[in-house]
Every structure is written in structure tokens, then in C-alpha cells.
Structure 1
């Protein structure tokens, strides 16, 4: 088992792949149907980007990508929106549209039987039939399966992001490694040294370090917002009408500032907006920038998301960054697989 090859399904901008690469785990290709992923994926990782709908990917396609590898690793993070708490109200039978993506993952796993499989998703995926069908299919085909909810802060990610991680092997027991850090990394440690900005200002040398503009009322709101506080701290005249209503009383986490000496909240696809969560900068009167969000997702500071002369689409890049597997979590998953491979070699 000297040659290892990994293929990353639903690879996005390359968070999981980059974690694997930093741990010396060879990734040969990433597959995603979103063309916006191609540049950041290929610019930062020595791997091929395949733009294709997962339902159209065949076993032959995957076999060609794996080549003559002695040990094949199939990784994937099916888009998590269908399994989120917010989306559950729209659930039908769990097998239509995006709900079916795990079944496509299962189809490919059955067809090529890779040595190791890993999947990452939101914790609530475990509540759904599709997840348990996925696990059962792997077990029926000879895999030992481990899965559990992982706290990303315990693996060096500076945000409170809990994720379901699954590891499966055809060669014996496999599990996630123990936490790699004793003390969670804080917002200050992650972004405290970045250039100060005002709302709407852009850093001259980093296209992603640009903050969204704020309306006059939102500028007033952020100025009276406390780190870790909520809109309930504001003077009455600044409180939004939707929050005055009974239905809005239970949403205290919007329009909030992060705290310097704690991990950030979970990054979402709209983390660049002050009103979209607790995404206000701890002390500067603005929302966090795309670069700050990427760093909180544990992408390296120099991770390139747009070409040198390319335009920055805040909405598109927010989606890529918010949906990414945190790089440090990817590294921990890679270390878990490497440890398992070492154990396999010792047995043989």
C-alpha cells in the first residue's frame, strides 16, 4: 500500500482537500458541479477539478481518477442545507433533489469499494433515513464504520462548528483521532492582526479583506452593540420591528458582535453581513470580511479565491467560504486516516 490516492466529492473551494494536502495525503481530484469552485480549488491544491453533477459521475470516471493507487480514499461533504434544522420543514421522503446526494455517494462507494471513506456534514444529518441507509450500505459491503459529532474547536478551528464526521474502512476498525488542542483558538488569535477597516472599506493588497457597507441605522446599531451581546442591548428606537413582534423574540443571535477571547460563531454563507448572525467585528464598527471569515474557517491567510485581475463577488465567495469544510478539521480527518493506514501496514 505504498501509493495512496484520494478523490474529494462535493469538493467546493477545497477546504477538506487542503487539509489533506497539508497532512501529506495525496488528493488527485475534486468533483463539484459549481464552476465557481474551479479557480480556488486548482490554484491552491495540486489536484484536478472535475466540474460535474455527482449523479452523472460513474464508477469508470472514479476509477480513472484513482488510477493505479494501492489504497483509495473517497471523501465527500454532501451539501448540508437539506439536513439543516432550517430546511427540515421542507423534507418530503429524503430522497428527492439534494436529499438524494448521499444516495449518489453510496452508489459510487458500492461501485468502486474504496479502501477508506469519509464524510462530513451537519449533526442533524443523523436524524434522517438517508444517513442510516448510507451507514447500513457500507456495513453490508464489509466496512467498519465510525461516526460521531465532532467539535471543531478541539481540532484548531477558531469557531464553534460542530459537525458529523464519518470514517469507514474495509481493513478494520477506524475512528477519529483524539482532540489535538487543549484550549480553543480565539477570534483574537485568528484575525486580531489584520488591517483595521471601516464599513465599506477595502484593504489595498487583499481583495477579500473588504467589509460590506452599512446603512445609517445599522451603523448606529453596531456602535451600541457589545461583544457577545444581542439587539436586546440596544436603545428601543434602534430595535427592528420584526424583533419587537413576539415571533422575533427568539432570535437573539442576529445583529451581534463576536468576542475577542472566544471562538467565533459558526460561519455561514452570509457571514459577511452584520444582520445575518453574530458576525460583527469585536471592536471595529463593521461586519467581518470575507478574508476574516476564511481565516476563521482555518484557510491559510494566503489561500487564493479569485484570480489576480478577477472580480470579487461577495455573495458567491461567501457561499464558498461558509460551505467549506474547515481546513484544520480536514487535517484532523486526514491524520485519522493516516493513523489507520499505519496500523494496517503493521498488521500485514
Structure 2
């Protein structure tokens, strides 16, 4: 259930350890809430983005840090967070993780009953896809904290996890064992679990995430964050457009308002709302426009989703740079325009304007990240903080100075300018490259808005 009660901070000095930190979605959320964080990330390019953004980072493999360098982590850390790799659980992947759900549940039970790391590691090596085991790392970190002399064997006070909806069954199993069995040292947690829609928290895209929030017993029962914005209803939107099309004067797409809602919630944020106005280095994007996604809708590869600037974006993935944007020349003619820049793609993911995307595979970095605005709501609910302001991350991001970047990289990689032997090997850090975004508009064959809109389905 979502929280409706007044919020009271449960920790005096929260300090977040962000596993699988990516380019910094959850860390940016912590920054907005004045909460320090340390992120562990294996991908070199994502780390370059983090250094440029001024985020404290370890360029390392999460499992290796747990095994070999856990004692070097700041003992003040009291919040564990993370979004393990989702490729094997995502509906877009081959499904090795979904097939292994029952097997992974058994590993969760073995970990909480105190089975040795060596025995578990040996058995995990038989999994079809080793990334499937990454979903166990947050639990293994929670257990390791209770065995760490550097922490005086003190458990984490709060755990915050997010993943694709397919992982909800594992989060529910996490919740059961954390409540009933607890960790091997006896530490138990109160837990809230659910699937949330990011547009209901002000993110200008539709994206569903499985969420777990746990608090150590005695710190109060956690609740999932209360929605602040209306949910996007694709069927209702399409019905309104069909009704409008039957009127004597057909309104253009940008004139069709979002579905009415009788609640006190704010309207969901549209792509146009996020991108229309100039801010920082973003020049503003002319509206109205239509966007055709590069991937199939509802699991149908032959179907391409089309949305207008008055709607939230479809889920932002590593293919965001391939989305085709059509600009209105007049009411009935479109032309293919400039595709989304990385700055725009980041804004649709709710990163602040001017976030310093760096390295290669930048679209993949954007798509893999936790939407920062969503992250502010997760952390606020977990820590008993007030509901974040709707515009909390709409100001341009201030990047690190060169000296700050060098200092962060010295800490994260061991050298101010280069990776070192302690960093993950280069051959293990090459996520699929995305097609570079187009920077100049291409005039194509005039197209009818109705022809594009007719390709939408009620599943968008």
C-alpha cells in the first residue's frame, strides 16, 4: 500500500550505498534530498558520466567488492539500495531469470539460513546466465554488513530495491524471509513491496518498476510512496481522440487534453511539458510533435508505438536515440525532425537538464538508469522524509570541475585520468552500442498525422 501518513525522518544521517549504480539515477535523487551516497558501477562509460557529474563512485564489480573489499566501504553507510541488472528478467530479454525464479528463491532461503558463501558461489556457477545471480547481491551485502568488524557488525537500517515488474515475485520472497526469518544474525525487517508506475510520480514516461522498501525492526513500518500524479490510461486517451475525430472540427493532437481526474493528483507530465521550454543548454523543442518508438508494443515486434507530445513517453530504453520524431508543418503534414539528443533523453528519464552524459553507449546509460525523480520518492518514503517537490530536478545540473572529477576518479579507479588494474577488465565492460542520435532534421515525405496515429494500439 502507498503511504498516506505524515512523514517523520527515521535516520539522523542517512548515507546510501548504491549497488549497480549506473550513471547515477538514485545518486542524483539523493543529491536532491541532501543525502550522501557512494555508487558501485562496473561499466567504464557509466563511471565517466558519474565522475563528470560529481558523484562518489567505485569503478568495480559489485560481487568483487563484497568478496574482497567490503571492509574498505565507509562504516557510516546505513542505507542499502540498488537495481540489479534486469536483462535476464526483462520481457525484452531471453527470460533466463524468469525461468530460474524458483531456483533463485531457494538461494534466498539458503543465504538467510547461513549457508556458506563458498557453497552458494559454487552452485550459482551452474546458472544459465550468471547475471541472474546478481539479484541476490543486495541480500548478500545485507548479510555481510552484520559480519563486518569495520561496522561493528551493525546491519543496514534501510534497504531500497527496484527492478523490472517480472522480479516482483523475488521481492515478495525477499520480504517474507526478511520479516519471518531475518538475516543469519537474527536481524529482521518490516517490508513493503509493490509494482509502481513512474508517471504517477512526475516522470514524463510510462515505466513500471517492482519496488521493495525495508526498515530494520524498531524503525517503523515502511510504506510505498504515495502517488502525486495521475496514472496514464492509454485506452482512455485513445477513446478521447476517437471522440474528438468525430466532431465537426477535428482538433489537432496537441489540443486534446489529458483524461480528466476527480482526485487531487497533478496531471501526468507529458513529453511536451518536459521538453518544450528552453532550460540550460536545451534550446527547447517545438511542439506539437509525434514520436514513433523503435521497439514493438506489448511484445509485438511488428507494432511500433506512436505518441504525441501531449502524452508521456513510452518506456525510455537504450533505443531512445532511435526513436523517430515527426514535427508538424501544419495540421495535416509532418516531417521527420531531429531525434532526441542525449540531453533530451535524460530529461525524459527525469534527469536534470545538462546532465553530463559521457563515454560510449550513452543511450544505453540513459535507458538503464533509475529515473531520478522516481528515486526521490523511493528514498523519501523509505526514510520518512516529506514528499519531494514536483520540480525538484528541473534545474540544470552543475557538473564537476576538472579537479573534482580527477579526485573522484582517483578514488574510483585509482588514477585521476585512467583505469587501473583494480578496475573491471575492458572486455567485460562493453554494453551494446546505440545508434547515435541525429542532430539535424531530415525532410521526409509529408505524412498525415492520422496515418501515424492509426498505428497506435490501446496498449500504448
Deviation at 1:281, TM superposition (A): 4.8
Match of 1:285 among 336, 346, 349: 336
Instruction: Note the 1:219-298 alignment, pairs <5 A.
Output: 227=290, 250-251=300-301, 253-254=303-304, 256-274=305-323, 279-281=324-326, 283=328, 285-286=336-337, 287-298=339-350
Change (3 A) 1:282 1:148: farther
Deviation at 1:288, TM superposition (A): 2.2
> What is the aligned partner in structure 2 of residue 14 from structure 1?
24
Q: Indicate conservation of the 8 Å contact 1:121/1:163, yes or no.
A: yes
**C-alpha RMSD of matched pairs (Å):** 3.1
Deviation at 1:79, TM superposition (A): 1.3
Deviation at 1:36, TM superposition (A): 1.2
TM-score (norm. length: structure 1): 0.72
Q: Indicate conservation of the 8 Å contact 1:106/1:137, yes or no.
A: no
Farther off after superposition, 91-100 or 162-171: 91-100
Q: Indicate conservation of the 8 Å contact 2:40/2:59, yes or no.
A: yes
Q: Indicate conservation of the 8 Å contact 1:84/1:122, yes or no.
A: yes
Give the Cα–Cα distance (whole angstroms) in 2 for the partners of residues 334 and 261 of structure 1.
Answer: 29
Q: Does 1:187 align with 2:229?
A: no
Instruction: Note the 1:259-338 alignment, pairs <5 A.
Output: 259-274=308-323, 279-281=324-326, 283=328, 285-286=336-337, 287-306=339-358, 313=360, 316-338=361-383
Structure 1 residues without counterparts, runs of 5 or longer = 196-204, 210-225, 232-242, 244-248, 307-311, 342-348
Give the Cα–Cα distance (whole angstroms) in 2 for the partners of residues 163 and 156 of structure 1.
Answer: 14
Aligned partner of residue 21 in structure 2, secondary structure: coil
Q: Does 1:78 align with 2:84?
A: yes
After superposition, give the CA deviation of every residue in 1:200-228 in whole Å (9 maximum; x if it has no partner): xxxxx77x99xxxxxxxxxxxxxxxx937
> What is the aligned partner in structure 2 of residue 166 from structure 1?
212
Give the Cα–Cα distance (whole angstroms) in 1 for the partners of residues 61 and 161 of structure 2.
Answer: 18
Aligned partner of residue 120 in structure 1, secondary structure: strand
Q: Indicate conservation of the 8 Å contact 1:272/1:290, yes or no.
A: yes
Give the Cα–Cα distance (whole angstroms) in 2 for the partners of residues 151 and 37 of structure 1.
Answer: 25
Q: Does 1:93 align with 2:100?
A: yes
Give the Cα–Cα distance (whole angstroms) in 2 for the partners of residues 280 and 66 of structure 1.
Answer: 46
Structure 2 residues without counterparts, runs of 5 or longer = 1-10, 105-126, 146-154, 183-187, 230-265, 329-334, 387-460
Q: How many residues align?
A: 282
Change (3 A) 1:340 1:88: farther
Q: Indicate conservation of the 8 Å contact 1:259/1:282, yes or no.
A: no
> What is the aligned partner in structure 1 of residue 200 from structure 2?
154
Q: Indicate conservation of the 8 Å contact 1:258/1:280, yes or no.
A: no
Deviation at 1:258, TM superposition (A): 3.1
Give the Cα–Cα distance (whole angstroms) in 2 for the partners of residues 334 and 282 of structure 1.
Answer: 38
TM-score (norm. length: structure 2): 0.56
> What is the aligned partner in structure 1 of residue 161 from structure 2?
119
Give the Cα–Cα distance (whole angstroms) in 2 for the partners of residues 132 and 177 of structure 1.
Answer: 17
Change (3 A) 1:4 1:121: same
Q: Indicate conservation of the 8 Å contact 2:43/2:59, yes or no.
A: yes
Change (3 A) 1:144 1:281: farther
Runs of 4+ in 1 over 6 A off after TM superposition: 228-231
Give the Cα–Cα distance (whole angstroms) in 2 for the partners of residues 75 and 281 of structure 1.
Answer: 39
